[in-house]
Amino acid sequence: MSVKLHRILVPIDFSEHAEPVLEWAAHLAEEHHSEIILLHAYHLPVEFQQLEGAYLPQDFWDTVKDEAKQGLTTHSEALRARGIQVRPVVREGYPATVIEDEAANEEVDLIVIGTHGLSGLKHLLLGSIAERVVQKAPCPVLTVKLPGSAES
C-alpha cells in the first residue's frame, strides 16, 4: 500500500510547542512533496463570553487576526525556504471544530498536531484539542508528543 500525502494540515497556536510539530510536518512534506496548510484558529473563551456585558471592539479582533497572519507568515517563509509549498489560513472559532472543518473542506490527507502533555485534573478540566481532533477528524492524525512533556 502506498501512502499519498498531497495536503498536510498543521494547526499551530504560536506556543513553544509549535516548532517540533512544524519540524515533523516539514519532514513529511519534503518526503512526500506535500502542500502544508498552516492553520491558526482563535476564539473568545466561553468563560469570557458568559460575563454580562462583555464586549470586545472590532479593532481588538482585527488585531488578533493580523497578529495571527504575521505569525503564520513567519512560519510559512521558513517552510518555503526549505522548498515546501505552504498555504497559511487564519480562522475564528473553537480550535478543534475549525481544525475538523478545515480538514474536511480541504480534503487533507493528514493532520499533524502537538499534544501538550496535559494529564490528571488539568486534562479533565480543560479537555484536549488534540484528543478531540483524533476522535473526530475525517483523516489520519499524527500527534507529536513534545520533548519533556509528562503524561501519566
Quote the CA–CA distance of 32 and 116 in Å, as a whole number: 27
Crossing angle of helices 18-32 and 58-81, rounded to 10° = 50
The C-alpha atoms of residue 110 and residue 10 are separated, in whole angstroms, by 9
Look at the chain and report how many structural domains it folds into. Answer: 1
**Residue 35 pLDDT > 90:** yes
Residue 149's alpha-carbon distances to 74, 112, 119, in angstroms, are 25, 17, 10
Q: Which of 33, 28, 34 is nearest to 142 (CA)?
A: 28
The predicted model scores a pTM of 0.84
Half-sphere exposure of 98 (CA within 13 A, CB side): 19
pLDDT of residue 51: 53
Q: Is the pLDDT of residue 148 over 70?
A: no
Q: Kindly report the CATH number assigned to the domain that includes residue 78.
A: 3.40.50.620
Is residue 98 a part of any domain in this protein?
Answer: yes
| Residue at 32 is within a domain | yes
Between CA 59 and CA 49 the distance in angstroms is: 17
Question: Which pLDDT score is estimated for 145?
Answer: 84
pLDDT at 52 over 60: no
Considering the domain boundaries, does residue 152 fall inside one? Answer: no
Angle at the Cα of 115 (from 71 to 109), degrees rounded to 5? Answer: 75
> Residue 45 falls within a domain, yes or no?
yes
Domain assignment present for 11: no
The DSSP output letter for 76 is: H
The total of other beta-carbon atoms located within 10 Å of residue 97's CB is 16
Q: State which residues form the domain around 28.
A: 23-145
Q: Is residue 79 part of a domain?
A: yes
13 found inside a domain? no
Q: What is the mean pLDDT of residues 41-63?
A: 67
Cα torsion angle, 115, 120, 124, 125, sign: negative
**Residue 133 forms part of a structural domain:** yes
CA distance 65 to 118: 27
List, for residues 59-99, the tens digit of each pLDDT value: 877 888 889 999 999 999 999 999 999 999 999 999 999 99
